[in-house]
């Protein structure tokens, strides 16, 4: 059964994805956060987690960015504030179960799982996001309002947050625990906690801009000392107006720039590295080993990115922004390793009989992509 109920995953992609919102009631059951609100606050005080407190309502808003302190929490009002923590699955890997049903969309598109906790009236104000998002109600209630016609450029002045100045409600729902709401990019929305103990999880999706892609490609090319070809207008005709930039010149320059992307192998290697770059520097947790004890279970660390692509002469496997080559015979192994996050000891024992799987698993241990499951 699809998480979308009577709607198939493909139907969702065809009719809703990046097009219009969708509300699904009771898609999740028994979401039990592995932390209390106090523990969530402590995480923001004791680690380098990307967290923030948003306080306010109407036209008056304040934001406190991590690192946060105990005093920051003591000084919050009784109502109308929200604590937001990004990448929460990195600290509580079991929350990957919330992301799992949405993995019919490629992993590289999934950015992170964010959690927001709020008492009565807590919100981050009416705003738009430039990416797709699934808003999953974990505990309590949150009231959502939408304004498809809102002007995203018209925001409150003298406000650190991009909060819309004009918001006219056209659709609204109250989400209970287990409900989720899908919102396409740039759709103005406004969520407000109803009662205390409101906890909402949101899955955001990566949508790199042209600037981000081109900037990374140029950095990669400069590092490889490429893009040295210069403009050439051999056998060009004479011109009557020496100050004119004519259409032939324009097309010549555009062609020169387009050829910068024509080296398929360089482009593919750069793209794989770009799409698997970790947000923060990740330290290797394990050193290489040729032996995994039969009674040890492993898990994927969600802080690390893993992807692969097939070429005629082998596989390119990308781990945290680095490219690695593997033989085509490793395809089944990398497919399995990318598809799963849990590796029970009994299944792992069987898989390690395959030399290709064993080599790849050892390599992922080197990178810290797979970890021993702690008791």
Segment 118-126 mean pLDDT:
97
Confidence class for position 106, pLDDT limits 50, 70, 90: very high
Confidence class for position 11, pLDDT limits 50, 70, 90: very high
> What is the per-residue pLDDT for 116?
97
> What is the per-residue pLDDT for 292?
61
Q: Quickly list DSSP for 24-51.
A: ETT-S-----SS-HHHHHHHHHHS---E
Least confident window among 7-11, 63-67, 114-118: 63-67
Segment 162-184 mean pLDDT:
96
> What is the per-residue pLDDT for 294?
56
- Model confidence over 280-335: pLDDT tens digits? 654 443 344 445 655 789 999 888 999 999 999 999 999 999 999 999 999 999 99
Measured CA distances, 205 to 99, 160, 173, 276 (Å): 11, 23, 23, 14
Quick check: 95 pLDDT over 50? yes
Confidence class for position 143, pLDDT limits 50, 70, 90: very high
How far is 137 from 355, CA to CA, in rounded Å?
44
> What is the per-residue pLDDT for 283?
44
> What is the per-residue pLDDT for 178?
96
Q: What is the largest CA-CA distance in the chain?
A: 82
**Higher-pLDDT residue of 263, 10:** 10
263-375 to CATH, choices 3.40.366.30, 3.50.50.60, 1.20.1250.20, 3.40.640.10: 3.40.366.30
Q: Which fold has domain 9-205?
A: Jelly Rolls (2.60.120)
Across 271-283, b (16+ Cβ under 10 Å) vs e yields: bbbbbbeeeeebe
> What is the per-residue pLDDT for 330?
96
Domain ranges for the chain: 9-205, 263-375
Q: From its phi and psi, is residue 58 left (phi > 0), alpha (psi between -120 and 50) or beta?
A: left
Give the angle 138-163-109 at the CA atoms, nearest 5°.
55
> What is the per-residue pLDDT for 203?
97
């Amino acid at each position: 059964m699809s998480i979308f109920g009577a709607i198939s995953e493909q139907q969702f992609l065809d009719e809703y994805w990046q097009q219009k919102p969708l509300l699904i009631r009771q898609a999740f059951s028994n979401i039990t956060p592995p932390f209390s609100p106090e523990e969530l606050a402590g995480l923001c005080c004791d680690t380098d987690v990307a967290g923030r407190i948003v306080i306010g309502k109407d036209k008056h808003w304040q934001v406190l960015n991590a690192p946060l302190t105990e005093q920051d929490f003591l000084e919050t009002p009784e109502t109308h504030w929200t604590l937001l923590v990004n990448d929460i699955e990195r600290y509580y890997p079991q929350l990957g179960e919330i992301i799992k049903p949405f993995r019919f969309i490629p992993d590289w598109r999934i950015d992170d799982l964010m959690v927001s906790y709020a008492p009565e009236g807590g919100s981050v104000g009416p705003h738009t996001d430039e990416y797709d998002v699934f808003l999953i109600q974990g505990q309590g209630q949150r009231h959502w309002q939408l304004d498809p016609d809102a002007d995203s450029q018209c925001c409150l002045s003298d406000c650190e947050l991009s909060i819309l100045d004009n918001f006219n409600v056209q659709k609204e729902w109250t989400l209970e625990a287990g409900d989720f709401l899908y919102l396409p990019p740039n759709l103005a929305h406004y969520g407000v906690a109803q009662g205390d103990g409101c906890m909402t999880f949101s899955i955001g999706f990566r949508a790199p801009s042209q600037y981000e892609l081109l900037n990374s490609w140029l950095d990669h090319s400069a590092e490889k000392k490429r893009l040295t070809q210069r403009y050439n207008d051999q056998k060009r005709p004479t011109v009557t107006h020496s100050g004119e930039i004519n259409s032939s010149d324009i097309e010549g320059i555009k062609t020169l720039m387009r050829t910068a992307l024509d080296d398929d192998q360089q482009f593919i290697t750069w793209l794989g590295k770009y799409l698997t770059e970790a947000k923060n520097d990740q330290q290797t947790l394990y050193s290489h080993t040729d032996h995994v004890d039969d009674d040890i279970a492993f898990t994927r660390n969600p802080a690390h990115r893993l992807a692969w692509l097939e070429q005629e002469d082998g596989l390119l496997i990308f781990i945290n922004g680095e490219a690695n080559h593997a033989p085509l015979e490793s395809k089944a192994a990398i497919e399995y390793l990318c598809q799963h996050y849990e590796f029970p000891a009994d299944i792992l024992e069987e898989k390690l009989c395959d030399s290709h799987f064993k080599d790849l698993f050892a390599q992922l241990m080197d990178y810290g992509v797979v970890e021993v499951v702690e008791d």
